Amino acid sequence: DAGVIQSPRHEVTEMGQEVTLRCKPISGHNSLFWYRQTMMRGLELLIYFNNNVPIDDSGMPEDRFSAKMPNASFSTLKIQPSEPRDSAVYFCASSAANYGYTFGSGTRLTVV
């Protein structure tokens, strides 16, 4: 298995632009998580899905952030419009029940 695959690895965009981050979880994992990591705030859970259904999106900072999981093998996190304070590393992780998470390599987002 190739693990959790995220794309792109790096994204530099101008303020106000739409950003879409993509994630392919490990086949057979029924939970998917989006985290954001910054020096100031550490690792923050943004949203997680169980069996493709969003369970808890209380960590999504604002309405500018949205996430979808149209099927078991794909999820997106969208920021529209993006702002400089959204600059961070965004991680996707997947897991099977009662097992550890497998993280992707992350997307480093820079909004200028």
Distance between start and end Cα atoms, the chain = 36
Sole window of 17-25, 68-76, 77-85, 98-106 interacting with other proteins (rule: CB under 8 A): 98-106
Q: Per CB under 8 A, does 106 bind other proteins?
A: yes
| 88, 82 contact by CB (below 8 A) | no
Output the CA angle 23-1-74, nearest 5 degrees. 20
For other proteins, give the closer residue by CB, 56 or 83.
56
For other proteins, give the closer residue by CB, 63 or 97.
97
For other proteins, give the closer residue by CB, 71 or 98.
98
**Binds other proteins (CB under 8 A): choice among 13, 31, 73, 76:** 31
Structure tokens at 6: 């995220």
Element housing 48 (H / E): strand 42-50
Question: Phi-psi bin for 14: left (phi > 0), alpha (psi -120 to 50), beta?
Answer: beta
Binding site for other proteins (CB under 8 A): 4, 31, 33, 35, 42-43, 45, 48, 50, 55-56, 91, 93, 98-106
